[in-house]
Amino acid sequence: MVDLTEYEQRGGLETPFELTKKHQRAQEESGRIREHAHRLAQQAPPLRPGQVSELSRLLGHRTPPHELMRWRLRLYCGHVVETTSHYTHKTLHSAFTGSTCCPECELDPATIVDGEAIGLAEEPPAPAGGDTDQVPLADV
């Protein structure tokens, strides 16, 4: 079981929402960073076929659901959405780098205004070999 108190909780998702100048600045900065990254990517030389297959091998595996933490996020656009990141990321910034794409209105990037971890996407599988708390009869 994961202890949710170890995870960052920012703001109150149940409270009324008001954008601040800080939120506005963060959203503008995210947009500038995204535009700059797109310009740099367009200038990069094309990947060789070997590089494409190597990247596919490195990045192609799916993270098991029991290693994904579900987060509820309030975004700059006002939508409250649920998404996941690896359970080892304990802060909103490490999990999402401050923004994400809104699946409802497609604002991208959408700065994360408030958020909280709400639990694993799936419970971890039981240990192999059954219940480890029971002592085998031969050892009693």
- Reported as a single tens digit per residue, the pLDDT across 40-83 is 999 999 999 899 999 999 999 899 999 999 999 999 999 999 99
For residue 84, give every residue at least 6 positions away whose Cβ sits within 8 Å of its Cβ, in sequence order, or none.
68, 69, 70, 71, 121
Cα–Cα distance measured from residue 102 to residue 95, given in angstroms and rounded to the nearest whole number: 15
Within 8 A by CB and 6+ apart from 140, the residues are: none
What distance in Å separates the CA atoms of residue 92 and residue 105, rounded to the nearest whole number? Answer: 21
- Across 111-127, average pLDDT: 94
pLDDT at 135 (0 to 100): 47
